[in-house]
Amino acid sequence: VTTPPPGDVGCILVAAGSGGRLGADRPKAFVELAGRTLLEHATSRVLGGGLVGTVVVVVPADLVGRLPERPGRRVVAGGADRRASVAAGLAALPDGIAVVLVHDVARCLAPTSLVGEVIAALRRGHRAVVPGLPVADTIKQVDGRGFVAGTVDRSSLRAVQTPQGFDRELLARAHAAPPGVPPVTDDAGLVERLGEPVLVIPGHRLAFKITTPDDLAHAGWLLAPA
Ligand code: C5P
């Protein structure tokens, strides 16, 4: 794998979820946090390092017209689930993009440094790279009656985040494969099904997913001036 120049790196920013669990009056991407939308927070952090040349923003179909396209930004309609939304973003990537990041707008505080570390690992020749954090809690499997069925050895577990980075050809091939059972919940899962290696690099606490009103409040505290 050759080192991609910045213009060869694209990012699919998936923002087409309804955000129902957030209880907001608008899709999550357009919810405000410290005066900016979650989409603006995510975009500025992705672009901040000057390493990403193109962002494809995937939003609910009825909101496509609300975001003007700019140089380096395309806006497309999402699909019924996250996988379909990523596929729509992939289809809209311009020619010449060799390396693709897939990032959830819900993880809008993921720092520019993390974006850079994912890209750096891709530049070292890895074709699929995900950030992940060790799991702090003890994880138990529970049976249908609520009793513990087993305790998982947490030392090998990682809670994975986005941005996840891929060689474009590999990600396209992973998305072209038939959906398996159970459905995968991230892009790395599709690559794993191809039997291809996925490197896990250290994640970042700020890359947490904003899902509930509590998460949004937490993000607001993190951004509050001291
Ligand atoms: O539902 P979940 O929390 O896994 O969603 C993760 C990300 O995928 C969110 O940023 C959400 O906007 C996006 N998504 C999407 N299209 C869907 C469902 C989720 O872009 N149909």
CA angle 111, 113, 116 (to 5 degrees): 120
CA-nearest residue, atom 8 of ligand 1: 82
CA angle 74, 111, 212 (to 5 degrees): 85
Name all contacts of 169-176 with Cβ < 8 Å and 24+ positions apart: 170/127, 170/128, 170/194, 170/196, 171/90, 171/100, 171/102, 171/128, 172/90, 175/83, 175/86, 175/87, 175/90
pLDDT at 24: 87
Cβ atoms 203, 114 nearer than 8 A: yes
**Is pTM, for the whole model, over 0.85?**
yes
Question: Is the C-beta atom of 85 inside 6 A of ligand 1?
Answer: yes
Amino acid code (one letter) for 225: P
Which residue among 82, 101, 215 has the greatest number of ligand 1 atoms within 8 angstroms of its CB, and so is best to mutate? Answer: 82
**112-126, 177-191, 205-219: which has the minimum mean pLDDT?**
177-191
What are the tens digits of pLDDT across the range 146-193? 999 999 999 999 999 999 999 999 999 999 998 888 889 999 999 999
CA-nearest residue, atom 7 of ligand 1: 104
Tokens of 69: 């396209």
What are the tens digits of pLDDT across the range 138-147? 999 999 999 9
